[in-house]
Amino acid sequence: MQLTGAEIVIECLKEQGVDTVFGYPGGAILNVYDELYKHSNEIRHILTSHEQGAAHAADGYARATGRVGVCFATSGPGATNLVTGIATAYMDSIPIVAITCNVGVSLLGKDSFQEIDIAGITMPITKHNYIVKDVTKLADTIRKAFVIAKKGRPGPVLIDIPKDITSTVTEYEPAVIEPVMPSEEVCEEDIQTALEMIRQSKKPYVFVGGGAILSGAHKELYEFIKKVDAPVTDSLMGKGAFPGTDELYTGMIGMHGTKTADYGVDECDLLIVAGARFSDRVTGNVKEFAKHAKILQFDVDAAEMNKNVLITEGVIGDLKVTLKRINELLEQQDHSEWKEKIMAYKEKYPLVYPSEGLTGPFVVEEIYRQTKGEAIIVTEVGQHQMWAAQYYKYTKPRTLLTSGGLGTMGYGLGAALGAKTGMPDKTVVNIAGDGCFRMNMNEIATAVRSNIPVIQVVINNHVLGMVRQWQDLFYGKRYSQTVLNDAVDFVKLAEAMGAEGVRVTTREEFQEAFARALTLGKPIVIDCQIDKDEKVWPMVAPGAPIREAFDEADM
């Protein structure tokens, strides 16, 4: 059949099972939006307040559902506004497809109005990107983009389409899309080496990263850990892959991890790394990281082997496939004495916070209590993000959505809109600091316009909390540009945008406000006033070994 490029875009999205697109129209992409209008009963479009919000929403949709998120933007500034969201997805290996339109082919490279080389700009932050100058190649390009986004280690793909290509007619052949399946390939010799290392270990520790969630390996991981009979820690991105309520779970590792996890990894004789990339926030001083242990790494990406930390052995392959194979061959292990030592650490070094007053940790624990641990928690970046990681017990994958690698302030609200759109039956809560919230708070208008009932909790200490914490500890209390004592009223702002707004200053007020939010059925902003000097504990100083984790009592 003969279709225009714009019609091909929509037909290809329908082929891929896309039900939602997040975006913002403009001149160059008008033909695509005109065609989208005709298919509004098949593909829902969420008009965000800013293109960055669209990219974050596509990311949140992908993280929550496990499907590919899709966003649209026009040429020039519309396309460049996607960049931070694309980079966020790239750093955390999230599958999104960003479709931008550009000026016509004859105008490319001439500094035309709203022209930008978005393919060149995004080359370092995408798995692959395309500029389609031939309409006959458009359908195949879109199909390839979805495969690339999902296959192996996931990630973002960008497709840039000149405007005249969207109006050019060509022959289109529908295709049946086969699901992208993980590769079953894994080296048998490497599996045997891994088994032997596990059997010889007396003090194993399992470190779980985001790859365990991306591969859907949580069931295989649980069986593996129980067979190895080892304590477990996770990275920020790995939360929910292994239940945070399990007795073997020891909390997060790294700069704001628990002392139990940091000490345990420092003392183990075998560190088994499942889908993690050894971020600097995890390792601290790389030369001192797990220096008493052999390191066994499971990862789908060969480039991660020996990239940040020198490992002993590695198994390259899809984590679900790798663990399934090992589980078939591994005998039940017993490390009772080692576990007793780690459990003693858990008892000796619990996470604690003040017993009175409204605090960040209390807010997070109360959210956990009222949602019974069944919500999707989204965060921005900073102190509140760490409290959300420490005090909410994640028992299922895809229930903590947060910018781990890039650390994107302003990520959470857009991502929460995407998550709630993709998982409408789940309670979705975005936990933000006041500094992060003001970056993309305009997306509250999107939530109201599209009737997306997210719960926005603002941990408001009137400062840039995490930066101030560093200034307090390492910069002689010189609070350069981190005090936000302005006249912004988040309650009035929420109401001006059509949402509910409430300010709370006590534990009881928050309990009441959040209980109401759960039954409200519309967007709400809860402004939680906390002390500006509240800190995240424990902490490891930048560049220090993780065994030197300290807290307020140590100071």
DSSP 113-163: TT---HHHHHGGGSSEEEE---GGGHHHHHHHHHHHHHSSS---EEEEEEH
SS3 306: coil
- Is the model's pLDDT at 356 over the cut of 90? yes
Residue 16 above 90 pLDDT? yes
Percent of the chain with pLDDT over 70: 100
Q: What is the pTM of this model?
A: 0.97
Distance from C-alpha of 551 to C-alpha of 4, rounded to nearest angstrom: 62
- Contact by Cβ (8 Å): 223, 332: no
Residues paired with residue 295 on neighbouring β-strands, in sequence order: 271
Q: In 191-253, which ranges are E strands?
A: 204-208, 232-234, 249-252
* Domain covering 360-536, topology: Rossmann fold (3.40.50)
d(CA 340, CA 255): 24
> What is the pLDDT at residue 552?
87
Predicted local confidence at residue 46, as pLDDT? 98
Are both 188-348 and 360-536 of the same fold?
A: yes
Provide, rounded to the nearest whole percent, the portion of the chain with pLDDT above 90.
99
Calpha distance 278→304 (Å, rounded):
9
Alpha helices by DSSP H, listed for 250-382, are 259-267, 280-283, 319-329, 336-348, 360-371
Render pLDDT for 438-482 as a digit per residue (tens, 0 to 9).
999 999 999 999 999 999 999 999 999 999 999 999 999 999 999
Q: What angle do CA 102, 107, 108 make, to 5 degrees?
A: 60
Secondary element (H or E) of residue 37: helix 30-38
Reported as a pLDDT band with limits 50, 70 and 90, residue 503 is very high
Distance, first Cα to last Cα, the chain: 73
The letter for the amino acid at 447 is: A
Read off the pLDDT of each residue in 4-21 and give the average, rounded to a whole number. Answer: 98
With contact defined as beta carbons under 8 Å apart, do 364 and 400 qualify? no
Tokens for 532, please give them.
């500006």
State the average pLDDT over residues 522-546: 97
**Rounded to whole angstroms, how far apart are CA atoms 97 and 143?**
11
**pLDDT (0 to 100) of residue 66:** 98
Question: Tokens representing 167?
Answer: 């109006």
pLDDT for 402: 98
Match 């002392």 to its residue by tokens: 259
Mean pLDDT computed over every residue of the chain: 97
In 3D space, the residue among 83, 49, 50, 85 whose CA is nearest the CA of residue 69 turns out to be 85
pLDDT tens profile 197-220: 999 999 999 999 999 999 999 999
In whole angstroms, give the CA distance from residue 133 to residue 123.
17
CATH of domain 2-171: 3.40.50.970
State residue 553's pLDDT score: 86
196 neighbors 130 (Cβ within 8 angstroms): no
Say what the pLDDT of residue 101 is: 98
Question: 69 φ, ψ to 5°?
Answer: -90, 145
pLDDT at 415: 98
For residues 94 and 62, what is the distance between their CA atoms, to the nearest angstrom?
7
Q: What is the pLDDT of residues 224-253, one digit of tens each?
A: 999 999 999 999 999 999 999 999 999 999
Euclidean distance between CA atoms 374 and 368, whole angstroms: 8
pLDDT of 157:
98
Of 515, 509, 547, 550, residue with least CA distance to 530: 509
Instruction: Give the three-class secondary structure for 321.
Output: helix
What is the SS3 assignment for 379?
Answer: strand
Separation between Cα atoms, residue 128 and residue 141, nearest integer Å = 11
CB atoms within 10 A of CB 1: 8
The pLDDT of residue 555 is above 90: no
The answer to whether 230 and 272 are in contact (CB under 8 A) is yes
- As beta bridge partners, residue 545 has 284
Contact between residue 322 and residue 340 where contact means Cβ atoms under 8 Å apart: no
Which residues are marked as active site?
51, 113-114, 163, 466
**According to the model, what pLDDT value does residue 468 have?**
96
Q: Residue 333 above 90 pLDDT?
A: yes
Would you say how long the chain is, in residues? Answer: 555
CATH topology (fold) of 188-348: Rossmann fold (3.40.50)
Q: Which residue has the tokens 């929403």?
A: 57
Q: Coil, helix or strand for 17?
A: coil
Structural contact between residues 482 and 462, judged by C-beta atoms closer than 8 angstroms: no
In this structure, what are the phi and psi dihedrals at residue 194, rounded to the nearest 5 degrees? Answer: -60, -45
Angle 442-446-449 (CA atoms, 0-180°, nearest 5)?
A: 135
pLDDT in tens, 111-120: 999 999 999 9
Domains of the chain: which residue ranges? Answer: 2-171, 188-348, 360-536
Question: Which phi and psi (to 5°) does residue 376 adopt?
Answer: -95, 120
Segment holding 119, helix H or strand E: helix 118-122
Cis peptide preceding 523, ω within 30 of 0: no
**Nearest-angstrom CA–CA distance, 197 and 200:** 5
Nearest Cα to 209, choosing from 231, 228, 236?
A: 236
The answer on pLDDT for 81 being more than 90 is: yes
> Residue 388 is encoded by which pair of tokens?
């959300």
Q: Which amino acid is at 537?
A: W
Is residue 283's pLDDT more than 90?
A: yes
Flag whether pLDDT at 166 surpasses 90. yes
Give tens-digit pLDDT for 295-322: 999 999 999 999 999 999 999 999 999 9
User: Band of the pLDDT at 554, cuts 50, 70, 90?
Assistant: confident
Single-letter code of the amino acid located at 268: C
